Amino acid sequence: MDFRLSPEEKLILETVQSFVQSDLMPLEQELQQAELEGHGQDFPDQETLRRLQLKARELGLWGLQTPEEYGGLALGQQMTALITMEIHRCLVPFQFGGAADNILFAGTQEQQREYLLPTIAGERRSCFALTEPTAGSDATNIRMQAVAEGDDFILTGEKIFITGGNEADFAIVFAVTDRGKGARGGITAFLVDREMGFTSRYIPTMGSWGPARLTFNQVRAPRRNVLGEVGKGFELAMRWIVNGRVIIPARAVGRAQRLLEMGVDYARQRVAFGHAIGDYQAIQWMLADSEVEIEASRWLVTHAAWLQDEGIDNHHEASIAKLQGAQMVNRVADRVLQIHGGMGYTKELPIERVCRDVRVFRIYEGTDEIQKRTIAKDLLRGTAGLGRWE
């Protein structure tokens, strides 16, 4: 394994770091004020986000994983993970423009013109709608039905905890088209425009953002809006989810690194009993434990991403990275809040908000328990783990 970056990759990463420092970090105070006023979930607004995305585009940061023929950089998973770490060192929510859900590239030419290209251009917004009230970790248990009727499918059911579902003007929806064939042959993906009739409702959460509940009541979607093949939707869903199991722990590394920096700074400045609190072993151990865990997660993510770039099945390593990264950032957040004492618990600092926001890392794109299940099953089958190398 060689994780060294090429000169071009180093330049891209340096450009990202400079953009974060000069354009994103200055907005953190505004975000904190918006949080105090109860408007944190709306910051940055779409106009500001678009302005930042266009500024990044001027720097060459556009469509990180989008193929070159669509105007993107076509970066691999390893570079994308490293960039994700850098972006999430800043507490302002941001994502680069020029991107689209990876499974939209599986669409027909007509679908690409109508959905993919406008999404890349920032003219349309999508959401991934798989989870249901009775089908979270067990995605094979979805109940939403799509019944064929002439040249259409009639979709009926609910989706829940859908990120971006309140803002999206179309959804990638997974529904059962043949229950007798099970998940592997009976689930189909559909591209469903909001004007076709689905509705969304905001779900308040303990974090500073909220997903949506989507309701489909006899929504008619034309057969031409089937994404991929009828009955092959579950494969597309897994392709989308596995990608997230590398990117989420990359986000966790970036966020934890920033928290640790805050903890180190405060440990140097805060004086108690005549000494900076960083002089005391109790604080030193919290800092040291956090540093070790962050670095361990960084390498787990890098390895899982490298395997993906090499075309090697990385589901086992991705589960390890997701499990470790999600748990790690929650432990680091708790330690840094503890280092700050009472101030850490107040809304004057962003630490309590980060503690609330990162808790969901242990839930979405596969809970901790699902990752452990995957890892253990691989071990018991003898198909992965136990120090094996590809």
Which amino acid would we find at residue 37?
Answer: E
Calculate the alpha carbon distances from 120 to 53, 166, 188 in Å: 12, 19, 24
Distance between CA atoms of 40 and 381, rounded to whole angstroms?
46
What tokens appear for 133 in the block?
Answer: 């009230």
360, 367 in Cβ contact below 8 A? no
What tokens appear for 202 in the block?
Answer: 């905001």
Nearest to 266 by CA among 246, 286, 242, 252: 286
| Burial letters 249-271, b for 16+ CB under 10 A, else e | bbbbbbbbbbbbebbbebbeebe
What tokens appear for 237 in the block?
Answer: 């869903």
Nearest to 1 by CA among 298, 249, 302, 247: 302
Distance between CA atoms of 353 and 210, rounded to whole angstroms?
14
Distance between CA atoms of 190 and 115, rounded to whole angstroms?
12
Pairing of strands 275-276, 271-272: antiparallel
* Residue found by looking up tokens 């939403």 in the block: 144
Q: What are residue 145's DSSP bridge partners? A: 156, 176
Catalytic residues: 365
287, 260 in Cβ contact below 8 A? yes
CB hemisphere CA count around 64 (13 angstroms): 22
CB hemisphere CA count around 313 (13 angstroms): 7
Q: If DSSP codes are grouped into helix, strand and coil, which group holds residue 88? A: coil
* Residue found by looking up tokens 């700050």 in the block: 340
117, 141 in Cβ contact below 8 A? no
Pairing of strands 170-176, 126-129: parallel
